[in-house]
Amino acid sequence: MSSAPQEPTAGSTPAWLQRKERGSQLLLRLMTWLSLTLGRRLTRPIVYGIALYFLLAAPAARRASRDYLGRALGRPARWGDLYRHILAFASTIHDRVYLLNDRHELFDLRIHGQDLFHGPDAPQGGFLIFGAHLGSFEVLRAIARRDSRQRVCAAMYPENARLLNSMLAQVNAEVVLDIIPLGRIDSIFQLNERIEAGAMVALLADRAVVPDTYLSVPLFGEPAPFPLGPFRLAAILRRPVCFMTGLYRGGNRYDIHFEPLADFSAVPAGQREAALRQAIERYAALLEKHGRAAPYNWFNFYDFWKGDARASR
């Protein structure tokens, strides 16, 4: 059962935003250049080495991986599981270079639930897509660029991944035009403007980008705190919301799943809080469903269940 919303410490910043990015601009430039010059097949061995390095050099992430995998797998995680987990994350980062470069022919993209957008019951006009740090979010924009019928804009907090985003922007400068920065005064106005123009606005809803209130709902058998901000945003905009995840299945295969999440377009004001709670509970249920189906795709490398205030750094 979910609990009452919990307020964070006054003025606190989510701990995942306080952590510095690993890596350097020079190394990112080098890896991007090698990836585009040598191709995906020849640079894959480097990804295996990077995953091994972080497995050995990042004890906090390793502990978080072990804790999560124990929940998702239903057994104690072994070293091979930890490596496979980090390798899946490194693989999606590597593949992002090619997805941004519109190299779709390199991948086996299998889409499930696309009728939500083009079927008879598809929402009219723009709407929101909520993803999570589960699998690759970049495949959404990749498949959207293949389909001229729908434009996808990504709402994100760019400051946390400035190095990575700057390098990816060099791969495809046009992608920057479809990014709406969160955490700014005019963010909600930009979001509403894009939606009014008929775009799908996608954001990751499992982490707070500013001090936020949280609702604890069950996830893998234990209450976990989810930020209310993204769901309140959907309620304010009064728009339908779909859930999306792009699960990495190994090799060059991704399974992209779309499922209905909530529809705030016709929720009376007096029922908004109940609708928010129901939406977050369904969001957590979908995370668990797809997390169990593809457990190595969970990329929150901190103690998610204890919340941001106690996240490992």
Q: Where are the beta strands (DSSP E) in 249-312?
A: 253-263
The pLDDT of residue 17: 44
State the residue range of the domain holding 151. Answer: 15-310
Using the CB atoms, write b or e for 80-106: b if 16+ within 10 Å.
ebbbbbbbbbbbbbbbbbbbbbeeeee
The pLDDT of residue 109: 93
Q: Is 11 left (phi over 0), alpha (psi -120 to 50) or beta?
A: left
The pLDDT of residue 9: 40
Q: What is the pLDDT of residues 242-272, one digit of tens each?
A: 999 999 999 999 999 999 999 988 888 788 8
The answer to whether residue 100 sits within a structural domain is yes
The pLDDT of residue 296: 98
The answer to whether residue 7 sits within a structural domain is no
The answer to whether residue 8 sits within a structural domain is no
The answer to whether residue 2 sits within a structural domain is no
Which residue positions in the chain have pLDDT lower than 50? 7-18, 21, 309-313
The answer to whether residue 10 sits within a structural domain is no
Q: Domain tally for the chain?
A: 1
The pLDDT of residue 165: 62
Distance CA 224, CA 171 (A): 36
The answer to whether residue 3 sits within a structural domain is no
The pLDDT of residue 26: 74
The answer to whether residue 9 sits within a structural domain is no
**How large is the greatest C-alpha to C-alpha distance in the chain, in angstroms?**
58
The answer to whether residue 239 sits within a structural domain is yes
